[in-house]
Amino acid sequence: MTAADLPPTLGLRHLALWVPSARFDATVAFYREGMGMAVDWQPDPDNVYLSSGADNLAIHRAAPERAVEQATSPLDHLGFCVPSAADVERWHARLSGGAERWGLESVGAPRRHRDDSTSFYFRDPAGHLVQIIHIPSLRP
């Protein structure tokens, strides 16, 4: 059996992040309040699974002995796709306006890329690089 014999995947729609304990609550609050995600499941105080209805984001509290450093992580950034370039602009207005409230850093200006996508980047309360992006070639 080859991949062509199987139904296509639904896409890369689940991501799990380690978050330092000191930034755990602020990070969960940002994804709930700032990004509008709902708690899908919280099995214990150290793990929260959030969803927009189209994806799943797991936030795991890192144990104190576990170093959580961007430089040691293979993760470059995570991206939230939106339906249009105009939606990128709307998300930028919302998140840049709430950057201090949610503890966001470096909310950059939206820009158009060579592939005709439009996006901007910022750092969430735990320091992860996050992108809001419209990719014209993606189907909803």
Q: Cβ(91)–Cβ(79) under 8 Å?
A: no
Of 79, 71, 44, the closest CA to residue 60 belongs to 44
Task: At 46, give phi and psi (nearest 5°).
Answer: -100, 0
Sheet holding 118-123: strands in order across? 78-81, 129-134, 118-123, 111-112
In the chain the domains, ranked by start, together with CATH numbers, are: 8-134 (3.10.180.10)
The reported pLDDT for the residue numbered 140 is 65
What are the angstrom distances between the C-alpha of 65 and each of 8, 27, 62, 87, 114?
39, 20, 8, 40, 42
The reported pLDDT for the residue numbered 5 is 80
Run of H or E residues at 88? helix 85-97
Q: What is the pLDDT along the chain (140 residues), one digit of tens a residue?
A: 677 887 777 777 889 998 988 899 999 999 999 999 999 999 999 999 999 988 899 999 987 766 555 446 767 799 999 999 999 999 999 999 999 999 999 889 999 998 899 999 999 999 999 999 999 988 76
Of 81, 77, 85, the closest CA to residue 139 belongs to 81
The reported pLDDT for the residue numbered 70 is 46
Q: Cβ(37)–Cβ(31) under 8 Å?
A: yes
